[in-house]
Structures are given as structure tokens and as C-alpha cells.
């Protein structure tokens, strides 16, 4: 397969999808055929099929790939070190992200003089988030099949890790099973490749539908909020990660950014880190040269617990809501926001829109009105797409840096 051409096709699909969607939104949404059939049926059906086929691969791929990765490591100590590094990197970059977002938001002060009547306020009812103790208990599945069926990532990761460790410990039987899993893994990767070949159509429909429904109008009353989030996302994606990559691995950052484009488009059009896992694993292994033993572990883990883009939105949203309601935040409040948002990102699932739900937890922490979320729901879809692209970039950057430090990065592939 011509991967280069495919990247170009996917990027073009995104561009034309966006342009067509914006034109439809501006001039043709009154038309029944356009609204009901083209956008409501055709774009919707093709887009949903595309997202579902991505999601379809996540559970089997994470299960198989992670088992292969652990078995290939062949050493539980190494696994512990890998986990420690990943956790440190993920939490560290999230704290950095939210600090950046808060600083920018405090300087620009979005929401001052905001007129709430200028935006359509939608209903928002926050869900209870599970307690910390329950979150820890939930790491272990009652039943691995149930965890798979429900797509619960952390319990699935725990079960797969244990299964891989047992393979290493099981001697000859383990060796035979490991070989089988390696074959399954090769087949799963082919499935990802098949999916990527139809991706331009899926991406086109998803983007066209979103822009046709959203239009640019929704952004207007919230322009300052929207721009601050966008600016922080760009700075984090284009400055923070490349600097970290350079400092910790010495690798060429342009190569990284260029090779991430395709994954970012997937994340952008699906607004789901989870759905992007298959493509991100494939890209970090085949394009960035990371060994499966690292990528199969850090990418799904990152998609589940590392949400820098989401933390950025939460930081800016907190300041925005405080400004709108005329509430002053103290230094202690800002620190509480950094801490809560960093922890919240662990509990945020990599699916569309959860970041907003977790924002309720952050607002509660500093005593801001949770109803404030209703003000920003209108623009959240577009921001969700952008922050998901940043989320998955963070997962890949961590993966590359960790792989380099573990001697599990093939520089010839990386530089190719
Ligand atoms: N959509 C984001 C993701 O999947 C999570 C969020 O911020 O809502 O990474």
C-alpha cells in the first residue's frame, strides 16, 4: 500500500469535507434533501460505519498486541520500568498542559463582559464520577470477557498484561502460545491497513457532517474562549512535545510532526482517542520505528489516562466560567485545578465529549457553578476534535521517547 498517497488522500478528504460542510451550513441547510438525506443519512451512515469499524478493532488489537508486547519483553522488571516511565511522562505532561492553559487564560481573560444571552444554552446534567477507591478497585476486571464486551480499557490492559506475564512464566507452552499470538497480531495489523484504505471516505463524511451541522456561527459568542483553547492546544502540540522529544531523545522533531499528521486526522475526525488506538499503534511501529513491546503498552494506556488536550480545555474553561460569573480564583484554587484536572484525565475515557463531563469535577473542586458548562457546550464538538488530536500526539510522543530510552526504537525506520 502507498502510505504516502494515503496520507495525502486523508488530508484532502478532511479539507474538502470541511469546505463542503461549511458551504452546506451557510447556504443549503434549509433544503430538505441536503439536511435529511445528504447530511442526516448519507454522511451520517458512512461516518458512523467508519467509526464503528475503528472501534471494532480496538479490543482485539489491544488484547493481542499487548500480550505480544509483554511476551517479547520477556522480563517483568522491564515492564515495571516501562510502566513507571509512562505514568511519570503522562502525568507530567498533563500538569504542564494545564499550567500552560491556565497561564494563557489568565493573561487573555476570556469571558470578561460575556453576554450569556448571546449563546444558546443547552441542558447539562453532570454525572457522578466514581470515587478514587472505586477507580483503583475497578482496575481489576470481575470477568475479562465482560471488560472486553464493554470496552473497558484499564481492566482489559491489566488482564492482558497478566496474561502476557503468565506466557513468559509458562516455559514451552508459553512459547507456543506466544507464536500464535504473534501471528494473530500480524493479521490484526492487516485489518488496520484495510481500514486505512477506506479512511478518506469515512473522514470526508464525518468532517462534512460536523461542519454542516455546526457552522461557524456557534463560535462567535464564545470566540475568546475558543481561541484561547485553540492557541494553547497548538502551543502544546507544536512546542511542548517537540521540545520534550528533542531534549529527551535527540530525535528530529519535524519527522515526528510530519509522521503524526495521519494519526491526528483520525483523532480529529473521530474525536476519540480510543478509536484512534489501532492507527496510532500501527503508525508508531511502522512509521516511527517503535518496537511493539513498547507501543502496544504505552499507546492504549495513553489513550486511556493521558489527556493533555482535554486538560487544556478544562483549564481555560475554568477561568472562563469564573470570569463569566465574576468569581475570583486564588492561587490555591489554581493549584487545585492543576491537581484535579491531572487526576481527572486519568479517569477520562477516550471517547467524544467526556472531557466536558469531567470538567464538572474540576469546577466542583474550586466551588464554581457546574451549570457554567452549559455555556460552552455549543462549541465543544469542534474543540473536542482538536483536543483529541493533541491527546493522541502526546501518547505517541511519550511512546517514542520511552522507546528511545529503552533501546526499542529503530532509527532507520524513524528517519526514513
Ligand atoms: N474526546 C477526547 C478523547 O477521546 C476526550 C475528551 O476530551 O472528551 O481523547
The answer to whether 256 touches 245, Cβ cutoff 8 Å, is: yes
Cα angle, residue 248 at apex, residues 244 and 249 outer, rounded to 5°:
110
Ligand 1 pocket test target in 279, 310, 311, 341 with most atoms within 8 Å of CB: 310
Q: How far is the CA of 289 from the centre of ligand 1 (A)?
A: 26
Which ligand 1 atom is at minimum distance from the Cα of 274? 4
Q: Return the CATH number of 2-415, one of 1.10.3860.10, 3.40.50.1110, 3.40.50.720, 1.10.8.100.
A: 1.10.3860.10
Give mean pLDDT in consecutive 10-residue pieces for the chain, a chain of 416 residues: 72 90 88 88 93 90 89 85 93 94 93 68 61 82 94 88 92 93 92 88 90 77 91 97 96 96 93 94 96 94 93 95 91 91 81 86 88 86 93 97 95 94
**Residue with CA nearest ligand 1 atom 7:** 355
Distances (CA, A) of 91 to 305, 318, 388, 398, 412: 9, 20, 17, 11, 30
Residues with CB under 6 A from ligand 1: 271-273, 307, 310, 348, 350-355, 384, 387-388, 391
Which ligand 1 atom is at minimum distance from the Cα of 276? 4
Helices 44-73 and 253-270, axial angle in degrees (round to 10): 130
Q: Which of 382, 379, 57, 53 is nearest to 209 (CA)?
A: 382
Round to the nearest angstrom and report the end-to-end CA distance of the chain. Answer: 16
Q: How far is the CA of 355 from the centre of ligand 1 (A)?
A: 6
pTM score of the predicted model = 0.88
Alpha-carbon distance of 232 to 345, in angstroms, equals 17
**Residue with CA nearest ligand 1 atom 3:** 350
| Extents of the domains making up the chain | 2-415
Which ligand 1 atom is at minimum distance from the Cα of 388? 9
Alpha-carbon distance of 82 to 398, in angstroms, equals 11
* The C-alpha cell that represents 331 in the structure block: 492561587
The answer to whether 232 touches 100, Cβ cutoff 8 Å, is: yes
Alpha-carbon distance of 320 to 335, in angstroms, equals 16
Instruction: Give the number of residues written for the chain.
Output: 416
**Residue with CA nearest ligand 1 atom 1:** 352
Q: How far is the CA of 177 from the centre of ligand 1 (A)?
A: 35
Which ligand 1 atom is at minimum distance from the Cα of 351? 4
Which ligand 1 atom is at minimum distance from the Cα of 392? 9
Q: How far is the CA of 278 from the centre of ligand 1 (A)?
A: 16
Report pLDDT for 351: 84
Q: How far is the CA of 48 from the centre of ligand 1 (A)?
A: 17
Amino acid at each position: 500500500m502507498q502510505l504516502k498517497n494515503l496520507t495525502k488522500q486523508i488530508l484532502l478528504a478532511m479539507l474538502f469535507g470541511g469546505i463542503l460542510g461549511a458551504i452546506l451550513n451557510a447556504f443549503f441547510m434549509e433544503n430538505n434533501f441536503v439536511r435529511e438525506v445528504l447530511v442526516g443519512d448519507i454522511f451520517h451512515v458512512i461516518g458512523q460505519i467508519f467509526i464503528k469499524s475503528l472501534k471494532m478493532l480496538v479490543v482485539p488489537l489491544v488484547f493481542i498486541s499487548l500480550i505480544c508486547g509483554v511476551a517479547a519483553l520477556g522480563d517483568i522488571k522491564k515492564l515495571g520500568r516501562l510502566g513507571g516511565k509512562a505514568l511519570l511522562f503522562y502525568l507530567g505532561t498533563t500538569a504542564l498542559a494545564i499550567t500552560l492553559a491556565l497561564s494563557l487564560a489568565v493573561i487573555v481573560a476570556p469571558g470578561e463582559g460575556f453576554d450569556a444571552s448571546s449563546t444558546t444554552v443547552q441542558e447539562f446534567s453532570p454525572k457522578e464520577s466514581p470515587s478514587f477507591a472505586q477507580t483503583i478497585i475497578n482496575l481489576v476486571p470481575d470477568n475479562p470477557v465482560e471488560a472486553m464486551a464493554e470496552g473497558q480499557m484499564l481492566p482489559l490492559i491489566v488482564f492482558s498484561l497478566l496474561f502476557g506475564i503468565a506466557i513468559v512464566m509458562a516455559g514451552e507452552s508459553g512459547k507456543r502460545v506466544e507464536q500464535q499470538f504473534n501471528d494473530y497480531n500480524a493479521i490484526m495489523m492487516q485489518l488496520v491497513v484495510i481500514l486505512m484504505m477506506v479512511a478518506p471516505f469515512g473522514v470526508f463524511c464525518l468532517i462534512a457532517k460536523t461542519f454542516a451541522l455546526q457552522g461557524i456561527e456557534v463560535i462567535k459568542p464564545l470566540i475568546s474562549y475558543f481561541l484561547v483553547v485553540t492557541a494553547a492546544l497548538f502551543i502544546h502540540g507544536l512546542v511542548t512535545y517537540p521540545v520534550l522529544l528533542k531534549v529527551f531523545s535527540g530525535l528530529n522533531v519535524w519527522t515526528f510532526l510530519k509522521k503524526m499528521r495521519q494519526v491526528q486526522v483520525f483523532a480529529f475526525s473521530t474525536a476519540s482517542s480510543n478509536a484512534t488506538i489501532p492507527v496510532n499503534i500501527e503508525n508508531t511501529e511502522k512509521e516511527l520505528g517503535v518496537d511493539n513491546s513498547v507501543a502496544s503498552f504505552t499507546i492504549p494506556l495513553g489513550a486511556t489516562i493521558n489527556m493533555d488536550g482535554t486538560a487544556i480545555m478544562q483549564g481555560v474553561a475554568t477561568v472562563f466560567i469564573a470570569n463569566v460569573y465574576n468569581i475570583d480564583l486564588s492561587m490555591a484554587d489554581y493549584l487545585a485545578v492543576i491537581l484535579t484536572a491531572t487526576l481527572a484525565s486519568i479517569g477520562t475515557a477516550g471517547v467524544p465529549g467526556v472531557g466536558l463531563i469531567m470538567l464538572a469535577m474540576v469546577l466542583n473542586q474550586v466551588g464554581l457553578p457546574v451549570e457554567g458548562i452549559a455555556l460552552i457546550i455549543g462549541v465543544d464538538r469542534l474543540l473536542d476534535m482538536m483536543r483529541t488530536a493533541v491527546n493522541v500526539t502526546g501518547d505517541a510522543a511519550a511512546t517514542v521517547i520511552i522507546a528511545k530510552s529503552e533501546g526499542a526504537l529503530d532509527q532507520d525506520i524513524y528517519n526514513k
